[in-house]
Amino acid sequence: MTDGSAPTDAPQPAGGPGRRRAPRPGRSRWLAAGGVAVLAGVLGLTLALRAGATPACAAPPAAVPLGVAAPVAAAPPVGGTVHKGKATFYDSKGAGGNCSYPSAPANRLYVALGPTEYAAGAACGGHLDVTGPKGTVRVLVMDQCPECAPGHLDLSREAFARIADPVQGIVSVSYRAVVDPPLPGPLTFRIKEGASRYWFAVLVADHGNPLRAVEVRQGDSGGWRAAARQDYNYWLVESGAGPGPYSIRVTDVYGHRVTAGGIRLAPGQVQRGTVRMYGGGAPAGGGRPAARSASPRPSASPTPRATSPRPSPSAAPASSSPSAPDAPVVPLAAEAPAAGCGN
């Protein structure tokens, strides 16, 4: 009762209706002590939960649902594996995108990748063959699309028109990395503005495949200094590489390695070397596999990318994709047993 009145089932006089058996004194004390213990336990659990404490045998984290792929590690498309996804389009307004190229390619056939496939600049300078309802187009990776999920390609307007009607806005596609595409010429190098003998950063272009490593040394002798790839596609030696001229050794993801000499400390100027990454003009042994080494973690933030508004994928009509082999299936994460709780 909440009004303070006596309960209606109060004990009746001895011998009357509703007579109750008097509890034994010992049992009464036991019940009282037990009730206090239970009450204290409930209050303690409530306070612990409010304070954020976790019970000793908390339920294990939920397993990855069936049919949901495990998270994909950031890496550029390589090796010619066929992927399936979707494509939209945008216009870079002639700029070279997050890969910091001085301008978009003359044919205006380029693509921006989402963060997973852009991989902090590791995809820059590679090429993809993209197939849609109308055909196939080859595009240069030169930009990042921050809002794009894995498999979402943001093509240039001109590239999109090669594979689909632009009025569709978004279409299903298949795509694969191009291994050793034809090169436009020897490697080019651009020393970043602000560089000096004490701070060195270089942009390497016309390499065909994505790059794995860039090393720099002063002149034609001495030790090589590994440059760290930045997510805006420059390779940085933070403590500098000397006054120049420099030798720059470039290695791609397939093991092609070449060395270009005579690169001057001329910030802001594009300097064309005399060697190609592979094929004609590459020195002997330029295609031999090189020892793999981990690239230092990028430390700089990407430069903003100006894009035109994109059509919403949910509002665009679906389109059938061309037949192509399925991409490898990512295995599901294994569910680990909980430790301690009854195991």
Q: What is the pTM of this model?
A: 0.65
C-alpha distance from residue 233 to each of 8, 17, 112, 332 (Å): 84, 93, 14, 33
Which is more confidently placed, 302 or 148? 148
Mean pLDDT over residues 163-180, rounded?
97
One DSSP character per residue, 201-254 reads: EEEEE--SSPEEEEEEEETTSS--EEPEEPTTS-EEETT---SS-EEEEEEETT
Q: What per-residue confidence (pLDDT) applies to 221?
A: 83
CA 10 to centroid of chain Cα atoms: 72
Which is more confidently placed, 191 or 330? 191
- Here the tokens at position 335 are 């569910």
The pLDDT confidence band at residue 27, using thresholds 50, 70 and 90, is very low
> Rounded to the nearest 5°, which phi and psi values hold at 3?
-100, 5
Reduced to 3 states, what is the DSSP secondary structure of residue 65? coil
Whether the CB-CB separation of 152 and 316 falls below 8 Å is answered with no
pLDDT averaged over every residue in the chain = 75
- Over the Cα atoms of the chain, what is R_g? 33
In the chain, the percentage of residues whose pLDDT exceeds 90 is 58
- Here the tokens at position 289 are 């596999």
Lowest mean pLDDT among 172-186, 248-262, 308-322: 308-322
For residue 40, the one-letter residue type is: A
Whether the CB-CB separation of 153 and 202 falls below 8 Å is answered with no
Q: What per-residue confidence (pLDDT) applies to 73?
A: 84
Neighbours of 165 (CB within 10 A): 13
For residue 218, the one-letter residue type is: Q
Lowest mean pLDDT among 5-14, 15-24, 87-96, 139-148: 15-24
- Reply yes or no on whether the pLDDT at 260 is more than 60: yes
Q: What per-residue confidence (pLDDT) applies to 326?
A: 36
Lowest mean pLDDT among 77-91, 108-122, 149-163, 326-340: 326-340
Lowest mean pLDDT among 4-8, 54-58, 249-253, 326-330: 326-330
Q: What per-residue confidence (pLDDT) applies to 80?
A: 81
Mean pLDDT over residues 110-129, rounded?
98
